[in-house]
Amino acid sequence: MMVRISEIEINPQRLEEYKAILKREAEASVRLEPGVIAIFPMFQRDNPAQVRILEIYSDQQAYQSHLKTEHFLKYKTATLHMVKSLKLVDMDALDMEAATRIFVKLKSHPF
């Protein structure tokens, strides 16, 4: 299992455009790639240009394969000039089983 938080700063004038592209990319990745467990994008409420993405891959190979997909390359190319900074921070989960409990509870909450 590979867990990461990507810390991304977006040009505020391009934020809405960026969000639309990221939403499509995240959805396609989780739907089409068995090894992409989660791509869960968030925005700081006080500074929405500060994006954080929780990413979970089944292993390093799944991540390497993700980087070569058409939907990722399309996202990367389309957003390159909107991104002011990008930091990929590899994480260790304290308790991976906790993640499964999270999503049991999410299922019972309508959005």
Residues that bind a copy of itself (CB under 8 A): 1, 3, 5, 19, 22-23, 26-27, 30-31, 34, 36-46, 48, 52, 54, 56, 58, 89-107, 109, 111
Shortest reach from residue 1's CB to a copy of itself, in Å: 7
Nearest approach in angstroms of CB 100 to a copy of itself is 5
Q: Is the dihedral of CA 75, 77, 78, 81 positive or negative?
A: positive
Report the candidate in 66, 71, 4 with the shortest Cα–Cα distance to residue 34: 66
Helix (H) or strand (E) holding 51: strand 47-57
Q: Which is nearer to a copy of itself, 68 or 109 (CB)?
A: 109
Q: How far is the CB of 35 from a copy of itself (least distance, A)?
A: 9
Element (H, E) at 30: helix 15-32
